[in-house]
Chain A
Amino acid sequence: MLDLLALILVFSGIVFFFFGAIGLLRLPDLHSRLHALTKADNLGLGLVIVGVALLHASLLVGLKLLLIWLLALLGSAASAHLISQYALRRRRQ
């Protein structure tokens, strides 16, 4: 039962990664594309991580996965900010 729930979570995480990739391809400009990358992928990674943590059922692994998720969130927010800032400042010059 728990395994089934974990599989559903991991699968829906993959679906959100897929939506993020679709957004990256379809959206018209750089800043809109960053929306797809930051939001859909973070939710996708979060779902995959909750699913994998359920499969392992170990506190140590769970906390390690949480740490990975937090670092990935920080990384994606910071890199999205840097990319958009660079694009804006170059356009203004």
Chain B
Amino acid sequence: MASGDKGSGIPSRSFSFTFLPRHLSAVNTLHLLSTLGLFALIWFLLTGHEWQSWLIGAPVAVMAAWSTLQLRSSAEGRLNLSGLLKFLPYFIRESVLGGIDVASRVMRPKMRIAPGFLTYRMRLTQPPARRLFVNSLSLLPGTLTADLDGASVYIHALDRHLDLSDELRRLEQMVSAVYGESL
């Protein structure tokens, strides 16, 4: 390394033409190995016991891990396991309710809908937490992410007369726990 000055904010090396220069110190070994392990697991799940497939799979997993670490922003936090374990049952229950809700609304002879838009300001700051929030929002009962502008989410509601603010705050709380972010 030319500068040898870790974490000083000076890019130590440029990797390519299109990607921003990264700090090598920002990528620790544990993170690299867990990312690599994740892609290797995905390849294994897709191909099963075909060992020859690793001829292609191993380089692809390395390249996928490399580009993931290149593209992730250095400000992104880590997943919090207990938060994730609480989020999963909540997410599954809400997906089931969401499916039943929309099915029961459209199957009535006279549909029980009053579509409309509302805006919600996210308190989440981390980009991956925001991504999880807006994507889960689309799977929850009655809400759909329509547009995004910074911290403001423009939400389409199937029934605009329902008060959704409690539900939205609850989802935001669950998402913040997944990324260990306090609101």
Contacts and interface: CB of A to CB of B under 8 A. Distances in A.
Interface in A31-46: 31-32, 34-36, 38-40, 42-44, 46
Interface of B: 42, 45-46, 48, 92, 95-96, 98-103, 105-107, 111, 113, 115, 134-136, 138-139, 141-142, 144-148, 154, 156, 158
A45 B141 CA distance: 17
Contacts of B96: 43, 46
A86 B99 CA distance: 25
21 contacts: A20-B103, A23-B102, A23-B106, A26-B106, A31-B156, A35-B102, A39-B98, A39-B99, A39-B101, A39-B102, A39-B141, A40-B103, A42-B95, A43-B98, A44-B99, A64-B46, A67-B42, A67-B46, A73-B135, A77-B136, A84-B144
Interface residues of A, number: 36
A38 B106 contact: no
A43 B140 CA distance: 11
B113 A32 contact: yes
Given A32-B115, A35-B158, A81-B134, A22 B139 contact: no
